[in-house]
Structure 1
Amino acid sequence: MSVTALVMAGGKGSRMSLSEEKPLLKIGGKPVIEHVLAALKNAKKINSIVVAVSDYTPKTAKLMLQFPVSVIKTPGKEYVSDMRYAVKSLNLHSVLAIGADLPLITGEIVDNIVDCYERCGKPALSVVVPMETKEKLGLGGEYAFKVGNTRVVPAGINVIDGQRIDEEKLDEEICLLDQKEVAVNINTVQELRIAESLF
């Protein structure tokens, strides 16, 4: 299976209240998006990388010129509609969409997620993390829901058959990963500090 990674880097980052674009916030001395790109480069199951930017992230777009990635400019409306815009514009097939704010993600974890997608046989997969894991790390979690008896939150990583992106409801596999590497994403200054301490 040929999988394209789509790095979502066009959001406003409005919860951060910082002047810097969120993908450029530094963790371990490097912009957070560079950690995501390194993981995707190390993943054996990722064939190509596309970075989705917007008018909200012009510096990120400029930085991406230094990397062997494609860049697409999206409207910058919100995550799902920008992802749909990129997938349709580029006519992508199997797509791993990932937020640009997951500094601890690794190539091995990305490969495990793609493996899970290949095995499940469904057109969509969503990675979730136990709420308890996020809370133990001192992290918050929006959009919590239950899988069995476990409260979980989305990790900001999805795999989807891009040719079916317009279908209203896709049969979706839930991939539960109890790992700090997928639990840590940066939406607040507090989460930035926690990520730095874990790096």
Structure 2
Amino acid sequence: MAGGEVRRRVVGVVLAGGVGRRMGHSRPKQLLKIGGRSIIEHTLAVFERAPEIDEVVVLMAPGFTAEAERIVARGRFHKVRQVVEGGATRTESTWRALQALGPDECDVLLHDAVRPLVEPRIISDCVEALRTHSAVNVAIPSSDTILVAAPGPSGEVIREVPDRSLLRRVQTPQGFRLSVIREAYERALRDPGFAGRPATDDCGVVLRYLPDVPIHIVPGSERNMKVTHPVDVHIAEKLIELASRAAPVPAGPDAHRRALEGTTVAVFGGDDIGTRIADLATGYGAAVHVFSRTGSGGSGVRVEDPASVAHALEQASKQSGRVDHVVHLTETAAAGEGRLDEADGEAVRETIAVNHLGPVNIARASLPYLRETRGHLLLSTIGSRADSPAERSANASLRCSTDAAVVALTQALADEWADLGVKVNCVSLRSTGTLPGESSPGDGDPLPPPPDVAQTCLNILTSDVTGHATGTPHTP
């Protein structure tokens, strides 16, 4: 920022006033859950993590403000300053939000709560654009041909087919200097004809009532979709699932030390990976206890035995005074590879006991400690060698079933324990955390190196995510 330039406050306004009539639900669509969290929680998390955003105001559907306040408290969204009840119309809701911002000039980003996949880059670009523009819109090119319809003798007919290269699909956030958007709405509300022909977005209000104010266009993203119809829920859930495979990035060079210093970490299993997690966490000031079936130290903890797990955590708590993080590293020796019809009964029982019952036992025994420290439970799966569903399932039915069970357990516990302040996530020891189309290691090198897995585990433990099933980035 240039010397002497005063940075304006940046406020994100999350518009959650809709009631979801097109979804066919009795509750607002922003409260529907996808990926283990409500849609509005996903949206608030993006704004909470955006360094450009100073504070957030939530506009909530009438009758649901108390629930929104609980979501804010449960998610520890510290940037949220107010939850304001929305009005009967979108115009009234937006006007209430603008009134809630007070008299001081600021930059405001108005964002639909039901666009939970907005990318940090878009927020950053909008804030940067508002340094030189008074109004900003996010838009993407239209891949479809758009037509203008007109009434015909027996239905609609095409009146015009505009040049597609000039058309854009509007998204949010839409950004404004507060004084500009407020003046536009004041003029609109004084216009008797506005109620009969309301604008469908905020830039439309500025364009109609402040035509001399240019509206700058910021490139959006195809992923920044609006959850409007029932099918959108399934699409958004899959996109969130894919996004959650990417391990979180530490928030600065001192993030690990700030999060781990003075804490206690209990690690179950993993042998080499568990030892590496211990070394890393100890280096950041944590007390670490590693419990292995066969590894060095010979603690002999069998995760399929609930008494053994409970005793291990009791031992860690007595020695260190607390337990803040519990890590479960599934046993690759009990991976459940091979055809189910060729597996003997003992192998089936061991695979299910170690890789499904084990995480359940660890979760149950961990909660009393993690509830006290508002800590973090990190489970794990074996994961797949490939992104192809066919390759993922072939000759690995037991492994697939236990992996799926642990992912489902992770998401369910993240929801169950959210009010307790306990985060629950899952890491795949084999999956590379790449999205479709990205490079990943071949079948000849199926497991990411232990240092990479250990670092990914620490990145998750020191993040604010919950309910995610994350892969391990592979270092060639």
TM-score normalised according to structure 2 size:
0.36
Cα deviation for residue 61 of structure 1 reads: 4.1
Partners of 1:178 and 1:50 lie apart in 2 by 22
Match of 2:111 among 86, 92, 98: 98
Tell me: higher relative CO, structure 1 or 2? Use CA pairs within 8 A at least 6 residues apart. Answer: 1
- After superposition, the Cα gap between the structure-2 partners of 1:192 and 1:102, relative to the gap in structure 1 and judged at 3 Å, is same
- 3-state SS of the aligned residue for 1:33? helix
Is this contact kept in 2: 1:35–1:105, CA < 8 A? no
Describe the superposition over 1:60-102 as per-residue Cα deviations: whole angstroms up to 9, x where unpaired.
3442343321233244223333112211233262111111111
Instruction: Name the aligned partner's letter for residue 53 of structure 2.
Output: I
Match of 1:9 among 8, 13, 16: 16
Give the aligned partner of residue 166 of structure 1: 183
Cα deviation for residue 110 of structure 1 reads: 1.0
Cα deviation for residue 28 of structure 1 reads: 1.3
Match of 2:223 among 177, 181, 189: 181
Describe the superposition over 1:144-177 as per-residue Cα deviations: whole angstroms up to 9, x where unpaired.
xx79823222213211111231234231424242
Partners of 1:83 and 1:195 lie apart in 2 by 25
Give the aligned partner of residue 47 of structure 2: 40
Gaps of 5+ in 1: 136-145
Give the aligned partner of residue 63 of structure 1: 71
Instruction: Name the aligned partner's letter for residue 60 of structure 1.
Output: A
Instruction: Name the aligned partner's letter for residue 14 of structure 1.
Output: R
Partners of 1:71 and 1:192 lie apart in 2 by 27
Partners of 2:214 and 2:32 lie apart in 1 by 32
Is this contact kept in 1: 2:137–2:174, CA < 8 A? yes
Identity in percent: 24
1:152 matched to 2:163? The reply is no
Within 5 Å, give how 1:26-37 maps onto structure 2: 26-37=33-44
1:131 matched to 2:142? The reply is yes
Is this contact kept in 2: 1:40–1:106, CA < 8 A? no
Describe the superposition over 1:96-115 as per-residue Cα deviations: whole angstroms up to 9, x where unpaired.
11111112123232112211
Match of 2:88 among 77, 81, 92: 77
Q: How many correspondences in the alignment?
A: 185
Q: Which moved more, 1:16-25 or 1:73-82?
A: 73-82
Partners of 2:35 and 2:20 lie apart in 1 by 20
- 3-state SS of the aligned residue for 1:149? helix
Instruction: Name the aligned partner's letter for residue 188 of structure 1.
Output: H
Give the aligned partner of residue 142 of structure 1: none
- 3-state SS of the aligned residue for 1:111? helix
1:115 matched to 2:115? The reply is no
- After superposition, the Cα gap between the structure-2 partners of 1:106 and 1:176, relative to the gap in structure 1 and judged at 3 Å, is closer
- 3-state SS of the aligned residue for 1:180? coil
- After superposition, the Cα gap between the structure-2 partners of 1:147 and 1:78, relative to the gap in structure 1 and judged at 3 Å, is farther
Partners of 2:179 and 2:47 lie apart in 1 by 22
More strand by share: 1
Instruction: Name the aligned partner's letter for residue 54 of structure 2.
Output: N
Give the aligned partner of residue 305 of structure 2: none
- 3-state SS of the aligned residue for 1:98? strand
Match of 2:237 among 191, 196, 199: 196
- After superposition, the Cα gap between the structure-2 partners of 1:147 and 1:109, relative to the gap in structure 1 and judged at 3 Å, is farther
Is this contact kept in 2: 1:95–1:160, CA < 8 A? yes
Partners of 1:153 and 1:174 lie apart in 2 by 14
Gaps of 5+ in 2: 1-6, 147-161, 188-208, 241-476
Partners of 1:178 and 1:55 lie apart in 2 by 30
Instruction: Name the aligned partner's letter for residue 81 of structure 1.
Output: E
Is this contact kept in 2: 1:43–1:108, CA < 8 A? no
- After superposition, the Cα gap between the structure-2 partners of 1:125 and 1:148, relative to the gap in structure 1 and judged at 3 Å, is farther
TM-score normalised according to structure 1 size:
0.80
- 3-state SS of the aligned residue for 1:5? strand
Rg larger in 1 or in 2?
2
Is this contact kept in 1: 2:138–2:173, CA < 8 A? yes
- 3-state SS of the aligned residue for 2:25? coil
Partners of 2:15 and 2:163 lie apart in 1 by 26
> Structure 1 residue runs of 4+, over 4 Å off?
none
